[in-house]
């Protein structure tokens, strides 16, 4: 029994180690200048993952990451709703929902996108959009990117918005292909 215990524990630890850094990076941005602690948001997300781990552990990394992202987003939106309600002095019980999601309820389009597909897609962006987005993904703030390209800060915001729009357009059609392939192979 202790073997099962240790094996499950190690698998879950590995799962957390794999996904925690990227989730925490997102959480820090969402929680910036708020009373919500990014670590709490991430910790809660992994707590939600525990009862689903039986399903999550055997799924592709992209699917597990998408599930975690959906769950964390739900937790965050839950927090936003609660805060809004409290600031208006309304009872919040009806609005606060426990938004744990089942693996099937995750945003399934994103669950099918692999990191390889992403790397191919970013190479197809216009050079300035690709480079700006790479710098952003490395953690550079808008003003640092603006300085790098010697453009106004507002321009960086526009470039990133365009880069994201293009990435989405490049990636999500692949989902349809991936799904068709899944359908024919099954």
Partner 1 sequence: MTTPCTNLHLFVDGELSAPDAEVFRQHLGRCPECEAGLRDLLQLELLASRALGGASVAEPLPAKVTPLRPWMQRVSRTVVPVALAAGLAAVGVFRLQAQPEAPTDVWLAGADVRTLEARLSHPMADRFLPYEPMRGTSGAANPLPLRPLAELEEQQDFRGIAAAYALRGDWQQAESFLARAPASADRDNDRAVVALSGQRWEEALNLLGGALRQEPRHAQALWNRGLALRGLGLLKQAEASFRDVASLPGQAAGWKVAAEKRADEMRALRDAEAARWQRLVRETWTQLTEKTADAAYLVRQQPAVTRAALYEAVRTATSADAVASLLPLAAALDQLGEGTVLQDYVRDAASRDFKVRAPLAEDYARLVKGALVPGLLERLRVSQETDLYVGALLHTGEAARDAESLKALQRYAHGSRDPWLNLLAERERARSEEASGRAANAEHLLLATLRTCGAYNTLFPCAEIN
Q: Within 119-148, which residues bind partner 1 (CB under 8 A)?
A: 119, 122, 133-134, 136-142
| Contact range with partner 1 by CB under 8 A, out of 20-28, 97-105, 173-181 | 20-28
To partner 1, the closest distance from the beta carbon of 184 in angstroms equals 25
Q: Residues in contact with partner 1, total (CB under 8 A)?
A: 77
Helix orientation angle between 38-56 and 2-31, rounded to the nearest 10 degrees? 140
Cβ-Cβ contacts under 8 Å for 77 (sequence gap 6 or more): 99
The dihedral built from the CA positions of residue 29, 30, 34 and 40, taken in this order, carries a sign that is negative
Nearer to partner 1, 50 or 181 (CB): 50
Q: With binding defined as CB under 8 A, does residue 169 bind partner 1?
A: no
What SS3 state is found at 148?
A: helix
Cβ-Cβ contacts under 8 Å for 70 (sequence gap 6 or more): 101, 105, 106, 107
Q: Which of residues 89-108 bind partner 1 (CB under 8 A)?
A: 95, 107
To partner 1, the closest distance from the beta carbon of 24 in angstroms equals 5
Q: Which of residues 26-55 bind partner 1 (CB under 8 A)?
A: 26, 28-30, 32-34, 39-40, 43, 46-47, 50-51, 53-54
The dihedral built from the CA positions of residue 151, 155, 157 and 161, taken in this order, carries a sign that is negative
């Amino acid at each position: 029994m202790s073997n099962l215990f240790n094996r499950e524990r190690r698998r879950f630890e590995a799962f957390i180690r794999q996904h925690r850094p990227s989730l925490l990076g997102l959480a820090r941005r969402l929680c910036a200048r708020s009373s919500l602690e990014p670590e709490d948001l991430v910790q809660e997300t992994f707590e939600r993952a525990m009862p689903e781990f039986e399903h999550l552990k055997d799924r592709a990394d992209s699917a597990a990451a998408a599930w975690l992202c959906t769950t964390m987003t739900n937790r965050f939106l839950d927090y936003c709703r609660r805060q809004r309600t409290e600031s208006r002095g309304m009872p919040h019980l009806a609005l606060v929902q426990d938004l744990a999601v089942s693996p099937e309820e995750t945003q399934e389009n994103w669950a099918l996108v692999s990191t390889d597909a992403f790397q191919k897609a970013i190479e197809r962006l216009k050079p300035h959009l690709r480079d700006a987005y790479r710098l952003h993904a490395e953690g550079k703030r808008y003003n640092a990117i603006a300085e790098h390209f010697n453009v106004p800060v507002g321009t960086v915001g526009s470039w990133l918005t365009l880069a994201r729009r293009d990435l989405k357009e490049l990636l999500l059609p692949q989902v349809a292909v991936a799904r068709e392939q899944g359908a024919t192979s099954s």
